[in-house]
Amino acid sequence: MSSILTNAASMAALQTLRSISNNMATTQDRISSGMRVGGASDNAAYWSIATTMRSDNAALGAVQDAMGLGAAKVDTAYAGMESVIEVVKEIKNKLITAMEPTADKAKIQKEISQLQEQLTSIADSASFSGENWLKAELSDAAGAAVSGADLAALTKQVVGSFTREGTTVKVQTIDIELSGTNVLFDVGGVAATGTTGALKRGILDIEAGGNQAAVAFTSVSTLDITKLATYKNDTTGLVDADATDNDVLQALISHVDTQLEALNSAAADLGSTSMRIDMQQEFVSKLSDSLDRGIGRLVDADMNEESTRLKALQTQQQLAIQALSIANSDSQSILSLFR
């Protein structure tokens, strides 16, 4: 039935044209934004997952920054430790030179004193972002003054990773233990008998009633070969009262060598920690790239596909316009019946 009030063909053609126009708008939006899922209305599940993953990826970026800061602290401590090892080697060499009976111990001590001052300077300078791991405050859990052997380790933490398990998120850390073996100078407010640190530890045992003057002179940073008589007069330590100067020097060389080995071990620990942080940084970087790719698979538009779809929709739109034009011309055909 032909009607001048209701043109069913025109209405159908118009509906088709509207549908094509909507599809074109969607396709053009995907092409301009590059995203297949730009909002929750496009695909609520994918949008939610992608939003959470973007948040986690941003957290990984913060982790990388924090790890960079931690790596700088470790590298600073490691550089300082390496320099200290070289200086302690020189002190050891000077002590060996002093074993020569004709050696001028006073002049050798002047060289040793300069090297000892260099040790202090290196330890003071090995600071990054307000933290110095070569000079730290070590104390027991209660913060009380304790003996050097009982000083508790101080744990420093470096941000290592960000993980999500279901709805639970965690920031994991890399623990770095500072103790009397790798802290060069303990700056805690402990008693004299508790003063420790790899360069402040004396050769003599610290006991009640011990000769503290002798102990004070036997650490790597304070030993003085012009005071050998003081060492020989001590009756509580490793040097007997009837020991010769060379016996005392031999004991000092042995002590310096022991501390040198401890410094080497501490440097190896710092080096392995630095390597671990570097490996973790590389992993976090790869993980971040993986998350980016995962997000892309969920929400990014396939530009080849969208380009093809746009061409097809443009053709369909032209045909729909032509169909609407034909449908609208039906009413004009009715007029010819009344002529």
Asked if residue 20 lies in contact with residue 335, where contact means CB atoms within 8 angstroms, the answer is no
Confidence of residue 208 (pLDDT cuts 50, 70, 90): very low
Confidence of residue 86 (pLDDT cuts 50, 70, 90): very high
User: pLDDT at residue 136 above 80?
Assistant: no
Question: How many angstroms separate the Cα of 203 from the Cα of each of 69, 118, 122, 150?
Answer: 37, 21, 22, 17
Alpha carbon distance 335, 320 (integer Å): 24
Whole-prediction pTM value? 0.71
Give alpha helix (H) positions in the chain: 8-33, 44-98, 105-125, 212-216, 228-233, 245-299, 303-328, 330-335
Domains along the chain with CATH numbers: 44-299 (1.20.1330.10)
pLDDT at 264 over 80: yes
When pLDDT is cut at 50, 70 and 90, the band that residue 204 belongs to is low
pLDDT tens per residue, range 161-199:
778 777 777 888 888 887 766 777 766 544 333 446 778
User: In the prediction, which pLDDT does 87 show?
Assistant: 94
Q: Among all chains, which residue has been given the structure tokens 């790798």?
A: 182
> Largest Cα–Cα distance of the chain, in whole Å?
145
Of the two residues 143 and 52, the one the predictor is more confident about is: 52
pLDDT for 88 equals 93
Q: 337 pLDDT band (50/70/90 cuts)? A: low
Closest by alpha carbon to 21, among 334, 310, 239?
310
Q: Is residue 334 within 8 Å of 4, Cβ to Cβ?
A: yes
Radius of gyration of the chain (CA): 39
Q: What is the pLDDT of residues 234-260, one digit of tens each?
A: 554 555 556 677 877 887 888 888 889
pLDDT at 39 over 50: yes
Q: How many CA atoms lie within 13 A of 20 on its CB side?
A: 20
- Using an 8 Å Cβ cutoff, are 82 and 266 in contact? no
Q: Distance (Å, rounded) from C-alpha 37 to C-alpha 300?
A: 7
Q: What was the pLDDT predicted at 205?
A: 40
Compute the average pLDDT of residues 207-215.
Answer: 40
Is the predicted pLDDT of residue 71 greater than 70, yes or no?
yes
Q: Averaged over 307-313, what is the pLDDT?
A: 89
Read out DSSP for 65-133? HHHHHHHHHHHHHHHHHHHHHHHHHHHHHHHHHHTSTT--HHHHHHHHHHHHHHHHHHHHH--BTTB-S
